[in-house]
Structure 1
Amino acid sequence: MATRAKAPEQTWTIREIAEEFDVTHRTVRHYEDLGLISPERVGTTRIYHRRDKTRLGLILRGKRLGFPLEEIRTIIDLYDAPRGRRSQLEYVLGQIDERRSDLEQRRRDLDAALSELDRFEESCRNDLGRLG
């Protein structure tokens, strides 16, 4: 019986990764310096594997949603924990609830500030109108 040769794993350069995620090389290196991604090194060249690409995608999504880097690290590291994906998802759901509550409070604060501005603007316009 013939055995099939394993296809080589797809890899990416820092340029390819940065372009795909629309970030700078410096941003990619920053996440590497923080230990959030760990590309293979061949001399001075960084070789990114699927795991690095997945982790970078999660990092950037977390940042867009307003999660601090340490929370993002916890979420990503949970994937490698014994309960893996289940513990990661349970943790993320808790963090989503907290983030949602925070954003909803910010929205209420912004709405209140906008209402106050509307009232102040109306008052100023009325005062200006009385001055003729």
Structure 2
Amino acid sequence: MTQNPKQEKATFTISQLAEQLDISAPTIRFYEQKGLISPARTPGNQRVYSPKDRARLRLILRGKRFGFSLDEIAEMIGMADMDMDERDQIEKTMAYGAQKLEEIRIRKEELLLLEKEMMAMRKRLQNKLDQLQGGK
């Protein structure tokens, strides 16, 4: 981590960030290629990550852990608004998560209905099979 007298944690190298977040450097590069993060570069073209980049990566990893696609994660963290602070990103993520929870609840209800219908069909088929076997 590069220190700055005015800031406790100014910047991070890719290896520092990878170690802190327990992910690989290629994973971080992949998220950069997908446009999810945009680290600064040194004159020697080395990536330099800010605390904002680290916060964004944490949100990406959290989204992946909960099964969101990268497109959904990009929407959640507000890629269109690069000036969002971590609090705004978290609030937007929470709102998106609430929407996803509602979608999951609806799917769950649909699956429960499907299960009920399939159980009824299975019972009817078993009764029919029992009738056919009893008629032999």
TM-score, structure 1 length as denominator? 0.63
Distance change >3 Å, CA 71–CA 16, structure 1 → 2: closer
Contact 2:12 / 2:50 at 8 angstroms: preserved in 1?
yes
| Larger strand percent | 2
Aligned-residue CA RMSD (Å): 3.6
Q: What's the % identity of the aligned pairs?
A: 28
Contact 1:14 / 1:28 at 8 angstroms: preserved in 2?
no
TM-score, structure 2 length as denominator? 0.62
Show the counterpart of 2:100: 99
Is 1:62 the equivalent of 2:24?
no
Whichever residue aligns with residue 36 of structure 1, its letter is L
Alpha-carbon deviation of 1:106? 0.8
Distance change >3 Å, CA 97–CA 112, structure 1 → 2: same
CA distance in 1, matches of 2:86, 2:16: 30
Which runs of no fewer than 5 residues in structure 2 stay unpaired?
none
Which runs of no fewer than 5 residues in structure 1 stay unpaired?
none
Alignment of 1:44-83 (within 5 A): 45-63=46-64, 64=66, 66=68, 68-74=72-78, 77=81, 80-81=83-84
Contact 1:59 / 1:72 at 8 angstroms: preserved in 2?
no
CA distance in 2, matches of 1:87, 1:10: 21
